Amino acid sequence: MNENENNEIEQDINHLMQIRREKLEELERNGKNPFEITKYNRTHTSKCVRDNYEELEGKDVTIAGRIMSKRIMGKASFCTIQDSEGKIQSYVSTNDLGEEAYKEFKTCDVGDIIGITGFVFKTRTEEISVHAKEVTLLSKSLRPLPEKFHGLKDMDLRYRQRYVDLIVNPEVKDTFVKRSKIISEIRKILDEKGYLEVETPILNTISGGATARPFITHHNTLDLNMYLRIATELNLKRLIVGGYDKVYEIGRIFRNEGMDIRHNPEFTSIELYEAFADYNDMMDIVEEIFTRCAEKVCGGTKITYQGTEIDLGTKWKRITMIDSIKEACGVDFNNINTDEEAVDLAKTRKIEIPKGKETRGHIISLFFDEYVEKTLIQPTFIYDYPIEVSPLAKKKKEDPRLVERFEAFIDGREYGNAFSELNDPIDQYERFKEEIKARENGDEEAGMMDEDYINALEIGLPPTGGLGIGIDRLIMLLTDSASIRDVLLFPTMKPLN
């Protein structure tokens, strides 16, 4: 659409807004201000009427919703109203309402919110409808809906004006209904397993529990900088120390990072921790969560995501990170034992090594990112990570250079991260010191020293399995949504001005 067309549309919108304001002023002069109405007693939704037609035929109902279309035909009209459960047609005539009330109805605009009382019937075309006996204007829409101007298609505008997007694009509303069902199903699964849902602070004096750049704010009374949480991990494990065997939290996480189709500065995650369990138990929970959520909102475990068929119901592939690299590019890091060998190999393969990452473990991770991740289409657990990239996971007995950690991958994307949790306070203290060194060398994503968490570990953390899942990515997968913004009601947007 060119600039002239945009200007013409803007002029049309301004003209229609002026007409609507004049209609409101006329209503107010007649003592009928729609914004003064505080309550309306509706008896049925559109879906309830449609689903129970045989029972309701010929009986009076009271419905309410937004006018989505109108057909004025002299002394009789049809309109379609939309509520939270769909649309339903109404037949409105001067014979039923009287001339004055019918005249007022004809001045209603698409977008106005009205209430209708009348009896249920079918038209000659067999459409279930409500024959209006009374129409009440409940709220006046002073701005026309965008469908009059070729619909709301601009994605940026849809994200900024989600309230309009939900009105004119019904499939968007369905996505967020599914989102709610998915989160409810996750809660149901964990509650059935005896997990306790808890809440932990969003504001913290230390940024920890993950590798990410935090948002920083300031507490005026305490004159103290604070960090919005980048994870719930450390506080949840404190609760395991305190004697709870199973805890979980679903909540907002905040990371001061770039934005793309998979990343938003604030997002929803679930973290759960179970005493006397390990990362193998967490793999089983991941499979159950994905399978049951798919069955709940997709009707089965075979889904299609962005054109790719995925089967969530089969036993997920489980392979170590080192073996996955060997499968993908033939390099076996079991035969590479020094940092120098790893650096030379990376240079040979033209893999760029960030400053401070010149270790065997970091280079294993770089090889995985380069050769493996994009190939993991069907559900796969990659496990046994290098210790350098996993500061909170327990070392493997067989090889202390690795830790008991896994990530879950589908369609080349990571969906979950889990550990056999590190419960050795001495080891944890040393790893925190390594994080501090990295931070001093300019790594803004490195963690901080958390003396109180070390104190908690010294009290005693039992062997524990921990898991984190990105809720938004799971919802993207199960609703076939291309961008994280499609599954966030109000995604972060750069201001227009």
- Give the tokens for residue 72: 């004025």
> What domains can you pick out in the chain, each with its CATH number?
3-151 (2.40.50.140), 168-316+379-487 (3.30.930.10)
Contacts (Cβ under 8 Å, ≥6 apart) of 486:
172, 175, 476, 479
Distance set, CA 147 to CA 9, 14, 110, 164, 176 (Å): 12, 15, 10, 10, 21
Angle, CA 356 vertex, CA 352 and CA 358 arms, to 5°: 60
The pLDDT of residue 334 is 96
Q: How far apart are the first and last CA of the chain?
A: 22
Place of tokens 């005493």: 275
Residue 71's identity, in one-letter code, is R
Cross-strand pairs, 252 = 268
pLDDT per residue as tens, the chain (497 positions): 555 656 666 778 899 999 999 999 999 999 999 999 999 999 999 999 999 999 999 999 999 999 999 999 889 999 999 999 999 999 999 999 999 999 999 999 999 999 999 999 999 999 999 999 999 999 999 999 886 444 566 788 889 999 999 998 889 999 999 999 999 999 999 999 999 999 999 999 988 888 889 999 999 999 999 999 999 999 999 999 999 999 999 999 999 988 999 999 999 999 999 999 999 999 999 999 999 999 999 999 999 999 999 999 999 999 999 999 999 999 999 999 999 999 999 999 999 999 889 999 999 999 999 999 999 999 999 999 999 999 889 999 999 999 999 999 999 999 999 999 999 999 999 988 988 888 888 777 787 889 999 999 999 999 999 999 999 999 999 999 999 999 999 999 988 87
- Give the tokens for residue 200: 């932990």
Name the residue among 365, 358, 325, 329 with its Cα closest to residue 344. 358
Q: Is 18 exposed, middle or buried (0-12, 13-18, 19+ CB in 10 A)?
A: exposed
CA distance 109 to 92: 15
Query: Parallel, antiparallel, or unpaired for β 413-420 and 402-410?
Result: antiparallel
Distance set, CA 63 to CA 56, 68, 163, 255 (Å): 13, 14, 21, 44
The pLDDT of residue 148 is 45
Percent helix, strand, coil in the chain, to 5, is 40, 25, 35
Determine contact, residues 331/364, Cβ cutoff 8 Å: no
